[in-house]
Amino acid sequence: MTNTADRSDVREVERIIIRFAGDSGDGMQLTGDRFTSASALFGNDLATLPEFPAEIRAPAGTLAGVSAFQVHISDHDITTPGDAPNVLVAMNPAALKADLPKVEPGGTVIVNTDAFEERNLAKAGYETNPIEDGSLDGYTMITSPMTSLTKEVCKDLGVKPRDAERSKNFFALGLVSWLYSRPEEPTMLWIEEKFGDKELVVAANKAAYKAGHAFGETAELSASRLAVRPAKLEPGTYTNINGNTALSWGLVAGSQLAGLPIFLGSYPITPASDILHELAKHKNFGVRTFQAEDEIAAVGSALGAAYGGHIGITTTSGPGIALKGETLGLAVSLELPLVVIDIQRGGPSTGLPTKTEAADLMMAMYGRHGEAPMPIVAASSPSDCFDTAIEAIRLAIRYRTPVMLLSDGYLANGTEPWCLPDVSSLKDIPVEFASRTNHTNADGEDVFMPYVRNDDMARPWAVPGTDGLMHRIGGIEKEDGTGNISYDPENHGFMVELRDERIRKIAESIPPLEISGDPDADILVVGWGSTWGSIAAATGRLNRAGTPVAQIHLRHLHPFAPNLGEILARYKHVLVPEMNLGQLSRLLRAEFLVDAKSISKVTGQPFTAAEMVNNIMEAAR
């Protein structure tokens, strides 16, 4: 293996942001993913942002069909996929048209010249070829006939030209890997593993990669070569993880910690389906996955499993939560553990299935009829999905309640290096099933009452099959204690307040919030969910530049951490950046009577750190 990182003509930089863009069929997600994995194994810190159209194959060559993958690699700790890309790899005119405006002024643009022919230019809306008409002056251009060179190198292998063309993304990967000093070996091994039984595909992809690498070496591109040293991260074993995988593993971990099997009822929906796919692989952990006939059956079956003493889980995105609402109300009334996972996407309705948004907070909070409170937790980064999943299971089991876990499309598909936890350090989740009667009635008879409560105000989890504890539960209002149907007005008032109180009481077991950044600042930025990365990057930049900013990030959105109100009261400016029109800021205003200002972005894309800096400065003015 050539260790290209040692070459003396390579200039070292702290970080690079590269954006791979092409047609949906060009394999850009795979290319970006491979580049990322090689960078991860090399030891860089990194963050990624895959962006792809909702259509599996949008019309080829059009702007609608552009699929892109942005990766930020760094020699120090980073939290976002970067602001403006330093490098754009454009596999066709549409990709150039769509993504050139994102590139930093004077950035590097790498294009596949073979794709810049008349038809493709027309489809992208170019009247003249931008490579030739001077419109790219000011950028560092690297042009390569990737398709024809790939076909050429594959010819001798006996690969048909049509098939060879499909390997052109590996040519691009080879070229970019040479330019940015990525090790070759991980990708070669990966090609062998992935396409092992298809010899010709393995050979074509390897040949294309090496041809791209060689193109860089021979085309005198040395001036453009850069390297990013490994980052100095906390010691430990790392893996590069996306949010949906981390979340799935967190659910498995929760199951192990509780000693109870998982049942996942789910209906396929973007961007949540990968959790179903991942959990379906882990049947040897006792995981049962059930692809239901619809969203309602998905949550219904999970609730049935919870009634039977398993950890009932349902995964979906916003539209699915809307459908599950009635069953969630039932779960609130039944007081059974249930984990409900919403991987948020752009809405309303079908909205933007493959783009991110965080506008389901109010639905999580209030999206059921009647007063039907349930705890809400949110993950803040891809790896944090692991811990948040465990927390959701802990709350559900301890407090016998449905719990909403909010993630989003950005966390689901974005990746970051994750320092793997020591499994033995994860805390067990105690589970207590009812096993005996809990009341003596007036006749001196020992009976079981399903709605008698413990110190946590949780009722017993008495699963069918337990001797002597036969009882009936349902969605009709019941009398506390006995659980018998009751239409008594006083009782209903009592129960509504009790259900509210028992969820608020969960705050007692939520750790207090810790302030990061400069705690003595006038400005406090309050975040939740995937905005953590850009808020952290922005507050870091502002503090370094002499503008003091404090930051808190909420994992628990209902109930809030016990010290939130006290923290909010300390600051002159309370700013709340969200990928919605100000849902958390409204909750904070209502709950704490503070002048929480909303910073809003609803474009289907996460905040960049630069935007966040500007927004904070603007809002605090």
Partner 1 sequence: MTTVPLTTKKDWSSDQEVRWCPGCGDYSILTAVQMMMPELDVRREDTVFVSGIGCAARFPYYMNTYGMHSIHGRSPAIATGLAITRPDLDVWVVGGDGDMLSIGGNHLIHALRRNIDMTILLFNNQIYGLTKGQYSPTSEQGKVTKSTPMGSIDHPFNPISLALGAEATFVARTHDMDRGHMQEMFRRAHEHKGSAIVEVYQNCNVFNDGAFDALTKRDARDAMLINLEHGKPVRFGVDNERGVVIDNDGAKIVEVADVGEDALYVHDESASTTGQAFALSRLASDRQSPTPVGIFRAVQRSEYGEAVSGQLAMANETKGPGDLNALLHSLPTWEVS
- Please give the full DSSP string across 516-569, using - where no structure is assigned: EE-TT-SEEEEEEGGGHHHHHHHHHHHHHTT--EEEEEESEEESPPTTHHHHHT
Residues 6+ apart with CB under 8 A from 606: 49, 80, 81, 356, 410, 530, 531, 533, 534, 579
Piece in contact with partner 1 (CB under 8 A), picked from 396-404, 414-422, 432-440, 502-510:
414-422
Terminal alpha carbon distance of the chain: 55
The set of residues, in sequence order, having a beta carbon less than 8 Å from that of 535 and lying 6+ positions away, is 525, 527, 551, 553, 577, 607, 612
Cβ 324 to partner 1 shortest distance, Å: 11
In whole angstroms, give the CA distance from residue 138 to residue 458.
66
Q: How far is the CB of 256 from partner 1 (least distance, A)?
A: 5
Q: Per the structure block, which two tokens stand in for 306?
A: 């919870």
Residues 6+ apart with CB under 8 A from 470: 448
DSSP state of 224: G
Of the ranges 123-131, 289-297, 399-407, 552-560, which one interacts with partner 1 (CB under 8 A)? Answer: 289-297
Least separation in angstroms between CB 478 and partner 1? 10
Rounded to a whole number of angstroms, the minimum distance from the CB of residue 474 to partner 1 is 3
CB 584 within 8 A of CB 557: yes
Question: In the bound complex, what is the minimum distance in angstroms from residue 300's beta carbon to partner 1?
Answer: 3
* Closer CB to partner 1, 301 or 316, in the complex: 301
How many whole angstroms from its chain centre is CA 122?
A: 36
Pairing of strands 311-316, 596-600: unpaired
Instruction: Work out how close the CB of 487 gets to partner 1 at its nearest, in angstroms, rounded to a whole number.
Output: 11
Q: CB atoms < 10 A from the CB of 296, how many?
A: 18
State CA 551 to chain mean position distance. Answer: 21
Q: How near is the Cβ of 47 to partner 1 at its closest, in Å?
A: 16
User: Smallest gap, in angstroms, from Cβ of residue 251 to partner 1?
Assistant: 11
CB of 352 to partner 1, least distance (A): 27
In single-letter form, the type of residue at position 612 comes to M
Q: Which is nearer to partner 1, 292 or 561 (CB)?
A: 292
Name the one range near partner 1 by CB under 8 A: 128-136, 195-203, 322-330, 371-379. 322-330
Position 252 contacts partner 1 (CB under 8 A): yes
Q: Are strands 415-419 and 439-440 parallel, antiparallel or unpaired?
A: unpaired
Question: Per CB under 8 A, does 589 bind partner 1?
Answer: no
User: Site for partner 1 (CB under 8 A): which residue of 93, 243, 309, 529?
Assistant: 309
Q: Which two tokens stand for residue 332?
A: 């609130």
Task: Please give the biggest Cα pair distance in the chain.
Answer: 96
Tell whether residue 431 is a contact of partner 1 (CB under 8 A): no
330 or 584: whose CB is closer to partner 1? 330
> Phi and psi (nearest 5°) for 179?
-60, -40
- Would you count residue 485 as binding partner 1 (CB under 8 A)? yes
Is residue 312 part of the contact set for partner 1 (CB under 8 A)?
A: yes
- Measured from the CB of residue 288, what is the shortest distance to partner 1 in angstroms? 6
Count how many Cα atoms sit within 13 Å of the Cα of residue 473 in the half-sphere of its side chain: 26
The tokens of 343 are what? 């991987």
Rg (CA), the chain: 27
Query: How many residues belong to the site for partner 1 (CB under 8 A)?
Result: 74
Instruction: Choose the stretch contacting partner 1; rule: CB under 8 A; options: 132-140, 203-211, 356-364, 460-468.
Output: 460-468
| Residue of 105, 134, 444, 465 that binds partner 1 (CB under 8 A) | 465
| Residues forming a β-bridge with 20 | 69, 89
Which residues ranging from 323 to 342 are in contact with partner 1 (CB under 8 A)? 326-327, 329-330, 334
In DSSP notation, 304-321 reads HHHHTTSEEEEEE-HHHH
Q: 47: closest CA among 534, 495, 520, 499?
A: 534
Q: Does residue number 493 form part of the binding site for partner 1 (CB under 8 A)?
A: no
Is residue 284 within the footprint of partner 1 (CB under 8 A)?
A: yes
Near partner 1 by CB under 8 A: residue from 263, 410, 451, 560: 263
For residues 330 and 339, which CB has a smaller minimum distance to partner 1 in the complex? 330
Compute the distance between CA of residue 161 and CA of residue 156 in angstroms, rounded to an integer: 11
- In sequence order, the β-bridge partners of residue 111 are 90, 143
Q: Confirm or reject binding of residue 370 to partner 1 (CB under 8 A).
A: no
Separation between Cα atoms, residue 300 and residue 277, nearest integer Å:
20
Q: Which amino acid is at 50?
A: P
Is residue 261 part of the contact set for partner 1 (CB under 8 A)?
Answer: yes
Please give the residues from 38 up to 97 whose contact with partner 1 meets the rule CB under 8 A: 40-43
Site string for partner 1, 210-249 (x = CB under 8 A): --------------------x-xxxxxxxxxx---x---x
Using CB under 8 A as the binding rule, the residues of this chain from 515 to 574 that contact partner 1 are: none
**Nearest Cα to Cα of residue 405 among 374, 432, 429:** 374
Binding residues for partner 1 restricted to 157-186, rule: CB under 8 A: 186
Q: How far is the CB of 60 from partner 1 (least distance, A)?
A: 32
Size of the chain in residues: 621
Find the binder of partner 1 among 127, 137, 293, 508 (CB under 8 A): 293
Please state the closest distance from residue 492 (CB atom) to partner 1, in A: 17
Residue choice 91, 202, 208, 302 for contact with partner 1 (CB under 8 A):
302
Which C-beta is closer to partner 1: that of 147 or that of 316?
316
| Sole residue written with tokens 């993950």 | 379
Based on CB atoms, which residue is closest to partner 1, 251 or 406?
Answer: 251
- The residue within the footprint of partner 1, chosen from 16, 28, 49, 253 (CB under 8 A), is 253
In the complex, least distance from residue 241 CB atom to partner 1, rounded to whole angstroms: 7
Q: Does 297 bind partner 1 (CB under 8 A)?
A: yes
Shortest CB 405 distance to partner 1, Å: 19
**473 near partner 1, judged by CB under 8 A:** yes
Please pick, from the candidates 6, 156, 470, 621, the single residue that binds partner 1 as defined by CB under 8 A: 470
191 lines the binding site for partner 1 (CB under 8 A): no
Among the listed residues 468, 493, 511, 512, the single contact to partner 1 using CB under 8 A: 468
Tally of CB atoms within 10 A around 22: 28
Q: Using CB under 8 A, which of the segments 70-78, 221-229, 459-467, 489-497 binds partner 1?
A: 459-467
464 touching partner 1, by CB under 8 A: yes
Q: What is the DSSP letter of 315?
A: E
Residue 516 burial (C-beta neighbours within 10 Å; 0-12, 13-18, 19+): middle
Query: At 349, is the secondary structure helix, strand, or coil?
Result: coil
Cβ neighbours of 308 (radius 10 Å): 13
- The rounded distance, in Å, linking the Cα atoms of 107 and 6 is 24
Region from 73-81, 87-95, 149-157, 293-301 binding partner 1, contact rule CB under 8 A: 293-301
